[in-house]
Structures are given as C-alpha cells and as structure tokens.
Amino acid sequence: MRRSLYWPRLPTVSGSEHGLGPWQTLLFTRVQRTFATSSEGSHFDESCGRNTCEITLRDAQLLKNQCLIGGEFVPALKEDGQGLFDVFNPATRALITKVSNGGKHTTRLAIEKANESFKSWKKLTATERSSFLRKWFDLIIQHSEDLGKIMTIEQGKPLPEAIGEVLYGASFVEFFAEEAKRMYGDIIPAGAKTRALVIPEPVGVCGLVTPWNFPCAMLTRKAAPALAAGCTVICKPSELTPLSALALGELGVRAGLPPGVFNIVTGFHAQPISDELMSHPAMRKISFTGSTAVGKKLLSQSASTVKKMSLELGGLAPFIVMEDANLDDAVSGLVACKFRNNGQTCISANRVYVHSKVYDKFAERVVEKVKTLCVGDGLEPGVHLGPLINEKAIDKVERHVKDAISKGAKVMIGGSRHRLGGLFFEPTVLANVTDSMMMSCEETFGPVIGLFQFDTEEEVLWRSNHTNYGLASYLYTNDLARAWRMAESLECGMVGLNEAMISTCAVPFGGIKESGIGREGSKYGLAEYVHLKYLLMGSIV
C-alpha cells in the first residue's frame, strides 16, 4: 500500500526569480505535483513544516532526518546547537528537507554507544551476526524501489541506475553475511610441547565516512564487513546525500541490529565530526572514501592514536585502446564506464588513450554512441544522465573543457552546459587532447571523454603510469600476451581487460600510490576489520 509523506516546505518560486530557464520552472512544478511526503511517524522534525511537494513511496517510514544513535533516531545534541541543514534535489535545486546537524558532542555520544555495544556484539557467534545481516539484506531488497527513489531525489542519478546501486549495495551485505562464517584462524607448527594459534578478532569501533556519489553502496561496502567481523560502526554520510544512509539505518533497526551497533551521525560540516572520530581513543578503525587531499589529512590525524586505516581516494584511470582491439566492445565499454553516474565515479575513464592507427575510427563510433544518450531529471523515463551534484562540480567540468579547448582540443559533441540549465552538462567528447591539459592530471568527475593519441605500447604505459594515482586502469586488446604484459606493467590496484564494469562484491576494490590503502569487498575486505592475536600454549605433553 502506498502512503503519502509530507516533506518540509519548498519555496514557491518562478524560474525568472532565480535565473532559471522555462524548462526548469516547468520541471519544478512537475516535481511538486508528482511526489508525496509526510512526517507522520517518520521522526521528522516538525519545525521543518509541511507542504504539497509529494514523493510517493511504498513505505513512508524510510524517510528520516535525524541521527541514528543507540538504536533511536534523535536530533543533534543541544551542545551542537540542535540545528538543521538543507538537502537539495540537484535536478531541480529545490529544497528536499532539513536534516539534523550533528557535531562533536553528537559524535561523542555515538562513539560511547558504539563502544558499549561492542562488548556484547563481538561475543556473538559468526552465525548469529550473519543472521542479522541476512535480515538487513532481505529488507534492502524488499525496499529497493523506494531506496532508489530516495537516492535519485537527493543524488540525481537516473532511477534505474539508482535501483541498480541499491541491489549492488545489498550484494555486499549478503556476501559478508556468508563470509562472516569463514573468518578462519591458523595453527602454526611450534615446538614438541607447544601449540601456536592465530585468532582473528574484531578491531573495535569503526568510523565509516562515505561519499555522495554512491550513498548506498559505499555504506554497505564498509558496514557489512565491519559488522560481520564483530565491530560496531558510526557512519558519517555526505551532507549532500544523507537520506539514503538514514533509510538504510531504518532498515538496520528493523533487521534487529542491537542498539548502538549501527549508528549514523549527519552533519553539514564534516570537520567537527571527523576530528572527534580521529581523536577519540575508543575509535580503532577509520574507513574513508573521498578525495586524496582529505584522505591524507585523516591519515596524518590517525597517527596520534595509531588507528587502523582504509582509504579509497582519487583516481585518474587510463582507458587504453590498442590497434588490435575490438572497437565495438571498446566503445561500449568506454561509454558505460565514463557516463555511469554522469562520470562522477572514482574509477571512471579519465584519460582515454587510443592507438593512432584506429584513432579516427574509434572517435567517430564514440560520438555516434554518445548521441544516443538522454539528459534530464533522473525520475523521467528514458534518461541516461542526470545532473551533476552541485555548482562546484559543474564549474570544474566546464573549467576542464574550456582549458582543453584553449589548448587545441576539438569538440566533437557537447562541450557546454546543457540547454536544460541548472546542473546539467552535455555529454561531451573532445579530440586532440594532450598531456598539457587539466584533464590529463586531474579527475574531471563529469560527462566528458577526452581522447588522447599514442603510437607504441611503451609510450602509453609510461603516460598511464606517470601520475601519483593508481586506482583503476582499462585495456582493450585481442593479443593475449600483450594483455598480460601490459596489465602487469600498469601501476594500479585494478585492471579491466576488455571489460569496463570491474566492481562486484566478491573482488578486492582499492588502489595504490595516492589512490589509497586497503581493500573493500571480497575476503580481503573482511580482513580490514580484524586484527590477529597469537596464542602460544605450553605444557602440552
């Protein structure tokens, strides 16, 4: 049964009042007509008000705007001001709701609750913890459509893609529910009268700092192995997309996770929250996905208490097309890899190196493929690309394109902000891109393909590796010996050989160099949340 929810009041505006085009005014009106909201029984702060902007969900209770601490949704503590911050729809730039603005004191309370719960959670058997995770997984699958809608509204990606992320995120919960039972130790040969045992133990309370580009999957990819290992967690979601995390928190409560095991602290300013996470002695592990600059700062801060760290940071992925590649496969792989989430992924193809012998043919086919992409509100059917996340993001994309053009790049398609206005940018293909341009050394994080040209294997390997980043690489070739040779020479944590969709729950995701440390997913991801204890038993006759 569908229920209507009342969301906080959206301003009544016309497009002209805010410099928007006619299409945006029409879209804003349509969104007001289409969605449902309500704070009834949903732990919404009543001071946010109500209005007629509707969001239709099957389950109204998934919409939360308060922190999850100790098994309850609560406002930020009065010591942090009990304030609220705004969350906007990037497609319309309309206010969605106001969310609790937690800070240092709210975070400290969450740490205390998590630390207390850790004492009992770690003592459960792996099978008992697995059963909680399995229930959480089942609920995520059951509510995947609603979770997808919430994600599209706050993040902007098309609804089918958002639902796909929910299912992908759920796969980590299922995987680690099963992997929890396989957290084995070792018996090491010792002396004639001794026995040496190695036992994995949960690290302790973990802080999980998640990004806005994958607000569901990045949370489950971190939380599921931590919970499976016997750790308790405090999640700090991005201030741009907190609603997806809070909805997952609600489902965690329904799954029966004991109070304090899974906590979420929302806040507009990350620093007071992260400072408390990094300095508190009870915090034993931090897992962060985000920029390299912030990751370096957190790594430095971790030294004072010697915390275990996992960092998934920036990428500058090369996408290499050799002269013997299947061009149709390479074109399809490139478009899928580059335009997923509108180019806002850390493993997106950022530098597309094409052999000079097939450069022109490949470029033409890419342009024809890009022409089929539809830009618009992610809730509209048939849309492939939604908006970028905010003004800062679209400004960077525009800056990269203008820089490339000023230095000789040729616009084959796109190249500017979309006629829809707002945060929409045209899917773009640039030819004649060189290593002197910004996009050769910075993540564009947007819907822009830059085509570089090369002549030899040695040249493209040197150019691919000539960066401080090392997250993912892609290589298209039909020469098996070359595939192995080049894959082993690429300095990165992951390589897609004739394949652009490289992420699944069963493989280790992560990079080298300044792209991070540690791995997420797979059995190696579980190992990130344990430490090893060695026991030597003597007097064995």
Determine the angle formed by the axes of helices 242-254 and 126-142, rounding to 10 degrees.
Answer: 120
Contact yes or no for 319/349 (Cβ under 8 A)? yes
Q: Which helix (H) or strand (E) holds 53?
A: none
Q: How many Å apart are CA 90 and CA 427, to the nearest integer?
A: 17
The closest alpha carbon to 179, from 226, 232, 238, 143, belongs to 226
Is 154 labeled as catalytic in the residue annotation? no
Are the beta carbons of 409 and 395 closer than 8 angstroms?
no
Q: Which of 154, 312, 426, 443 is catalytic?
A: 312
Of the candidates 475, 216, 454, 228, the one whose C-alpha atom is nearest the C-alpha of residue 333 is 475
Q: Which residues does 228 contact at the CB level (< 8 Å), separation at least 6? A: 126, 129, 130, 133, 176, 177, 179, 180, 183, 526, 529
Task: Say how far apart CA 140 and CA 20 lie, in whole Å.
Answer: 37
Question: Rounded to whole angstroms, how far apart are CA atoms 77 and 226?
Answer: 26
Q: Hey, is 66 helix, strand or coil?
A: coil
Assign 8 to helix, strand or coil: coil
Strands (E), 62-143: 67-69, 72-74, 84-89, 94-100
Which residue intervals of 307-431 are DSSP H helices?
327-339, 359-370, 391-406
Amino acid at residue number 8: P
Number of Cβ atoms within 10 Å of the Cβ of 381? 9
Name, in order, each residue with C-beta under 8 angstroms of 462's C-beta and a sequence gap of 6 or more. Answer: none
In this structure, what are the phi and psi dihedrals at residue 274, rounded to the nearest 5 degrees?
Answer: -65, -35
Cα distance between residue 426 and residue 49, in whole Å: 36
Tokens 């493929």 locate to 369
Identify the three-state secondary structure at position 208.
Answer: strand
Alpha helical stretches, state H, 340-407: 359-370, 391-406
The tokens of 126 are what? 């792996």
CB 321 within 8 A of CB 454: no
Across the beta sheet with 195-202, the strand order is 186-188, 195-202, 530-537
Q: 456 in helix, strand or coil?
A: coil
β-pairing, 186-188 vs 195-202, is antiparallel
How much helix, strand and coil, in percent to the nearest 5, is found in the chain?
A: 40, 20, 40
Q: In whole angstroms, what is the distance from residue 167 CA to residue 178 CA? A: 17
Tell me which residues are annotated as active site: 312
